[in-house]
Amino acid sequence: MASWRNSGSERAAARASPGMTDLEVLRRGAEEALPEGALEKQLAKGKPLRVKLGIDPTAPDIHLGHVVVLTKLAQFQEQGHQVVLIIGDYTARVGDPSGRDTQRPILSPEEIGANAKTFQDQAFKVLDRDTTEVRFNSEWLDMPLEELFQLMAKVTVARLLEREDFTKRMKADQPISSLELLYPVLQGYDSVAIRSDLELGGTDQKFNLLFARDIQRSYGVPEQSVMTLPILPGIDGIRRMSKSLGNYVGVTDPPDEMFGKLMRIPDEVMGTYYELLLGEDVPSEEPMVAKRALARRIVERFHDAEAAEAAEGRFDKVHVEHEIPDDIPEVPLAEADGVQANGGEVHLPALIAGVFGISSSEARRLISQGGVKLDGEGVPPESLDLPAVELGGRVLQVGKRRFVRLLAP
């Protein structure tokens, strides 16, 4: 396979250990490759595979949980296989029921379009943009009713209800919409349309990935093999990483925030992070040392080495030396939200909301919980309005990692 390997690609962070074969690199960190032995047979033919990943743009940003499967996809790309990234602009209208006990909300076409653009930009922090084939499944799923009827005639409701999510909801007497039953059928047809040889996905996608083989078979298309990847736990170490749960690390997070979040992961899940994000075993060092190394490498991956070094330095100043960082943003009070027209008083919740991009109610909650400081001193819960002259030149801190210096009006 050396004759068609990509040369010089450095997109995938998980590297092969010395002496690992191509297959060992591809299988490392994967949960399952099904049917057993199928991938090996495909690779033995010496031809590049069409490797599919489908993503519904239901949210604008991606986090390290998405990076797990994207990294595996990049490893296939590095070995010369054709990566096909399917943006599920059509299936996003239906909503994937995987891992859900309720129906997903339906997004507008405008939301889906905006999310799709952002997602692609972020995905190419991991994948090679030039060699990735990007397709939108509305190309083939926006089909005449007659073709949809033909597709639906190839599956049975009994087969669809085999999936664990539906079984649990039926036992709990929770509703299942007909749209949700349609989802795995449409996702399966994606594999027919692009003639995929292999599809990747999380372990929660196992039913959908295998079901696509049924759809391919019914259309006389060679059946794909499937590879499932473990679900990355969030920084709480318990639940899956999710933006809605607030336990995520976004690939576009600022370096300081990214480093700080990664330093919060429990020691017990460090092995999972090393394996799934770096393709390595945890170093035989003190947990704090290994965690710092992980945080530096992830920040360096999505920013650069200089940003990683600076983020670690600022982390130490705040959390080890308990000092205020030197290089923090400056905010002129004359231009900030919450300042009276005459420059007299400042409504602190409005100021915090405008400066840090949170809601005023969240700002009030942080103040009441002691999460807001001025020059390192906690702001009393009753101090919602302060004279502007008392704030000029002071450092406003929200939480542990967010600082700004307020400039006098």
How far apart, in whole angstroms, are the C-alpha atoms of residue 102 and residue 280? 37
Can you give the pTM of this predicted structure?
A: 0.76
Close Cβ partners of 13 (under 8 Å, ≥ 6 residues apart): 71, 126, 277, 278, 279, 297, 301
Please check whether the two domains, 2-229 and 330-407, share a CATH topology.
no
Q: Does domain 2-229 have CATH number 3.40.50.620?
A: yes
How is the chain split into domains, by residue range? 2-229, 255-320, 330-407
pLDDT of residue 362: 87
Residue type, 85: L
CB 295 within 8 A of CB 307: no
Where residue 3 falls among pLDDT bands split at 50, 70, 90?
Answer: very low
Which class in CATH covers the domain with range 330-407? alpha beta
Span 105-148, pLDDT tens digits: 677 888 888 888 988 989 999 999 999 999 999 999 999 999 99
pLDDT for res 7: 35
Pairing of strands 385-387, 345-347: antiparallel
Of all residues in the chain, what percent carry a pLDDT higher than 70? 91
